[in-house]
């Protein structure tokens, strides 16, 4: 039977970044293919910890028919543990149902439309009703700006609303009496890491020295790549939140 075109080549490639795009059936198939490989048992708990970032994980005894019946449905995919005494694990993709479900990890894997839907469900209070902690999470993954104007002026030609839409922002409108708060959201582009270059890499005239072959630099780069692929679910990174746009139209009122 041909293997489906999944995003991962191996279950061992799983990390805190690619887990969010993984399908539960993909994980179950890859797990089954590699479960009996030598050394897999030593990676089993680590893999389950990564899976827990984006999936609910339930353990059950397959011999208990009543318990097993709860998980042997289309809602779950099953992972057989390497040790029989540990039973089976059932996994189900965790749904982001409310704004408090957002984290520094999953914020990078939702769309602007989904984000605005979550904000709209937050009791309709608008941007200011969101806690600072959640705002910080949101602004690591999205450019956010807001404006509050009379409903009759919100979509004025050449105004903030029109410019934001042209720039690719999604918008959520929240009515506040005869005024409307517009929340604009646009996904941030992934930022490349800057590599610092030592002063010794430059000559007296400020030109960078030509290096035909630098084994140490290649070794460092290889080490960095290995480090990035390993244990990434233990790390967290919180860049500064982006500053909001100034609402030019408020000044005209």
H-type alpha helices, the chain: 24-34, 44-51, 65-71, 112-121, 132-141, 160-166, 215-229
232 vs 24, higher pLDDT: 24
Q: Are 112 and 169 in contact (CB under 8 A)?
A: yes
pLDDT in tens, 70-103: 999 999 999 999 888 888 999 999 888 899 999 9
pLDDT tier, 29 (very low <50, low <70, confident <90, very high otherwise): very high
Confidence check: pLDDT of 25 > 90: yes
Q: Hunting for tokens 């030593």 — which residue is that? A: 42
DSSP string, 88-143: EEEEEEPP--SGGG--TTGGGGS-HHHHHHHHHHTTT--GGGS-HHHHHHHHHHEE
Confidence check: pLDDT of 202 > 80: no
Question: If you average pLDDT over every residue of the chain, what do you get?
Answer: 81
Provide the pLDDT for residue 210.
53
How many other CB atoms are found less than 10 A from the CB of residue 120?
15
Q: What is the pTM of this model?
A: 0.62
pLDDT in tens, 108-127: 889 999 999 999 988 778 99
Pair of tokens at residue 238 = 């919180």
pLDDT tier, 253 (very low <50, low <70, confident <90, very high otherwise): very low
The Cα-based distances of 155 to 162, 163, 252 in angstroms read 7, 10, 15
Q: Are 183 and 171 in contact (CB under 8 A)?
A: yes
The SS3 assignment for 71 reads helix
Residues whose CB falls within 8 Å of the CB of residue 37, separated by 6 or more in sequence, listed in order = none
How many other CB atoms are found less than 10 A from the CB of residue 166?
8
């Amino acid at each position: 039977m041909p293997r489906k075109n999944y995003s991962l080549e191996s279950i061992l490639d799983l990390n805190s970044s690619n887990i969010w795009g993984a399908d539960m059936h993909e994980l179950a198939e890859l797990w089954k293919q590699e479960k009996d490989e030598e050394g897999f048992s030593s990676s089993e708990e680590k893999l389950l910890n990564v899976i827990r970032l984006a999936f609910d994980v339930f353990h059950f005894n397959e011999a208990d028919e009543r318990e097993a019946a709860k998980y042997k449905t289309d809602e779950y995919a099953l992972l057989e543990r390497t040790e029989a005494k540990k039973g089976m694990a059932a996994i189900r993709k965790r749904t982001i149902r409310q704004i408090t479900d957002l984290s520094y990890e999953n914020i990078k894997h939702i769309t602007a439309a989904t984000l605005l839907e979550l904000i709209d469900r937050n009791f309709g209070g608008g941007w200011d009703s969101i806690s600072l902690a959640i705002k910080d999470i949101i602004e690591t993954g999205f450019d956010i700006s807001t404006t509050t104007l009379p409903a009759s002026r919100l979509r004025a030609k050449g105004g903030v609303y029109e410019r934001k839409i042209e720039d690719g922002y999604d918008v959520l409108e929240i009515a506040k009496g005869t005024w409307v708060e517009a929340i604009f959201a646009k996904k941030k582009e992934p930022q490349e890491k800057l590599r610092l270059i030592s002063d010794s890499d430059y000559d007296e005239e400020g030109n960078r020295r030509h290096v035909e072959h630098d084994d140490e630099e290649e070794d460092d780069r290889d080490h960095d790549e290995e480090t990035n692929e390993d244990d990434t679910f233990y790390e967290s990174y919180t860049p500064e939140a982006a500053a909001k746009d100034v609402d030019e139209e408020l000044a005209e009122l």
